[in-house]
């Protein structure tokens, strides 16, 4: 009686899918829950988050001039308690001085890049929590280019 059960158990453990792997292949990291997924750098979602990252960067920067994003090089997101974005953005200094701004909002669209443009490449880590209407810049790392 025990022998047939033992044989059946061993056979079940050796069948494909017996361990939750229905396809026979190891799961791809990008398909796992909570894993980072690559985004199109030209998507409206990425452009919006990159614009917010640059805005927060400008608020914290000691530069006399505003920086403006020139190109999103890489974009990924990860589902956490919210959405965490990992962006690589090229930015350049503009001709718009911070002390010349009136009002709380500045559209950088009207700010041309400076002739002596200082260029940087920044890695931004942004956390967006939509149900709280919160967007925070968690990490920034910039290098001159």
- pLDDT in tens for each of the 145 residues of the chain? 444 443 334 344 444 444 444 444 455 555 677 899 999 999 999 999 999 999 999 999 999 999 999 999 999 999 999 999 999 999 999 999 998 766 566 678 889 999 988 999 999 999 999 999 999 999 999 999 9
Total domain count, the chain: 1
> Does a structural domain hold residue 81?
yes
CATH number, domain containing residue 83: 3.10.450.10
> Does a structural domain hold residue 123?
yes
Given a contact cutoff of 8 angstroms between Cβ atoms, the answer to whether 69 and 42 are in contact is no
The DSSP output letter for 33 is T
> Does a structural domain hold residue 55?
yes
> Does a structural domain hold residue 21?
no
> Does a structural domain hold residue 71?
yes
| Torsion sign over Cα 65, 54, 87, 46 | negative
> Does a structural domain hold residue 31?
no
- Domain span at 55: 36-144
> Does a structural domain hold residue 6?
no
Report the C-alpha gap between 137 and 75 in whole angstroms: 15
- pTM of this structure: 0.74
> Does a structural domain hold residue 91?
yes
The secondary structure element, H or E, covering residue 1 is none
85 DSSP β-pair partners: 77, 126
Given a contact cutoff of 8 angstroms between Cβ atoms, the answer to whether 122 and 89 are in contact is yes
């Amino acid at each position: 009686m025990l022998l047939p059960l033992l044989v059946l158990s061993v056979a079940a453990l050796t069948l494909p899918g017996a361990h939750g792997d229905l396809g026979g292949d190891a799961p791809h990291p990008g398909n796992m829950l909570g894993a980072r997924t690559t985004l199109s750098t030209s998507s409206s979602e990425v452009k919006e988050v990159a614009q917010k990252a640059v805005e927060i960067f400008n608020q914290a920067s000691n530069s006399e001039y505003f920086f403006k994003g020139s190109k999103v090089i890489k974009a990924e997101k990860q589902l956490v308690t919210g959405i965490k974005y990992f962006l690589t953005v090229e930015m350049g200094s503009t001709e718009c001085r911070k002390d010349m701004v009136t009002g709380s909002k500045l559209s950088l669209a009207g700010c041309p890049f400076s002739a002596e443009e200082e260029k940087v490449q920044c890695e931004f880590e942004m956390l967006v929590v939509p149900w709280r209407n919160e967007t925070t810049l968690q990490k920034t790392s910039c290098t001159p280019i």
